Amino acid sequence: MAAADLIRGVAYALAAGLMWGLVFVAPALLPDYPPAALAFGRYIAFGAVALLLAWPDRSRLAALRRADWVEAFKLSLVGNILYYLFLSAGIQAAGVPLASVLIGTLPVVIAVCANWHDRSLPWARLMPSLGLIAGGIACVNQSEMARLGGGEGHAYGLGAALTVVAVAAWTWYPIRNARWLKAHPGLSATTWTTAQGLTTLPLAALGWLLWGLWQGRLPGHSWWMGLGAQPGRFVLLMLAMGLFASWAGTLAWSRASKLLPTSLTGQLIVFETLSALAYGFLHRGQWPGWLTGAGIGLLMGGVMMGVRAFQRPAPH
pLDDT in tens, 235-275: 899 999 999 988 999 999 999 888 877 767 777 777 887 78
CA–CA dist 226, 219 (Å, integer): 17
Contact 280, 97 (CB under 8 A): yes
In this structure, is residue 316 part of a structural domain?
A: no
What confidence score (pLDDT) does residue 226 get? 52
Residue 151 has pLDDT above 50, yes or no: no
Q: How confident is the model at residue 155 (pLDDT cuts 50, 70, 90)?
A: confident
Question: 257: closest CA among 9, 17, 74, 3?
Answer: 9
In this structure, is residue 38 part of a structural domain?
A: yes
Per-residue pLDDT tens digits for 88-114:
788 778 776 677 678 777 777 877 786
In this structure, is residue 105 part of a structural domain?
A: yes
Residue 110: alpha-carbon gap to chain centroid: 13
Q: How far apart are the first and last CA of the chain?
A: 22
Per-residue pLDDT tens digits for 36-85:
888 888 899 999 999 999 999 999 999 999 999 999 999 999 998 898 88
What confidence score (pLDDT) does residue 239 get? 92
CA–CA dist 301, 14 (Å, integer): 18
What confidence score (pLDDT) does residue 195 get? 96
Which residues are within 8 A (CB) of 240 and not within 5 positions of it... i.e. 6 or more apart? 22
Q: Domain span at residue 71?
A: 3-311
Domain tally for the chain?
Answer: 1
In this structure, is residue 267 part of a structural domain?
A: yes
